[in-house]
Amino acid sequence: MLRTKSVWSPINRKTDGLRILATRFRGRAMPTGRYDVWMPSLGPSERLLMAGQAGRISWAKFAAGYRAEMFMDGPIDSRSRSIKNHGQKFTLRLLKSLARNGHVTLMCHCAEDQDRCHRHLLRQLILSRRV
């Protein structure tokens, strides 16, 4: 089961499973007990995040940019001729497998009722055929 949640919502040890803080910034006031693992690599880049938060780009542009970033090649890819990392592709695949066999919760600082949060895009990506 793959869920999304605000990191500030009540913790449910039974149904949350592996609690992943999927944000670029951890937040100074964030107690480490609110998540099991912090994965900045699953958050939007600082540039994309700032552009989205400042309203310089539309939600559609933000969403497209985020999806692109999740599969963006890094310098390591130029060092391999055949099998590349393709950004977070294999991390997303791992999360898909973990969620198939247990509970995984993707979290962000945004409020629980915030529809326009990358955590929803991330969940869709993990459940998609792309990974």
Binding site for Zn ion (CB under 5 A): 108, 110, 117
Q: Quick one: how many helices (H) and strands (E) in the chain?
A: 5, 4
Residue 45: CB minimum distance to Zn ion, A: 14
Closer Cβ to Zn ion, 41 or 97, answer by number:
41
Neighbours of 63 (CB within 10 A): 18
Instruction: Tell me whether residue 7 or residue 99 sits nearer to Zn ion (CB atom).
Output: 7
- Please state the closest distance from residue 1 (CB atom) to Zn ion, in A: 20
Distance of CA 16 to the CA centre of its chain: 15
* Rg (the chain; Cα; Å): 15
Q: At closest approach, how far in Å is the CB of 74 from Zn ion?
A: 23
Measured distance CA(79)–CA(83) in Å, rounded: 10
Closest to Zn ion by CB, 108 vs 126, is 108
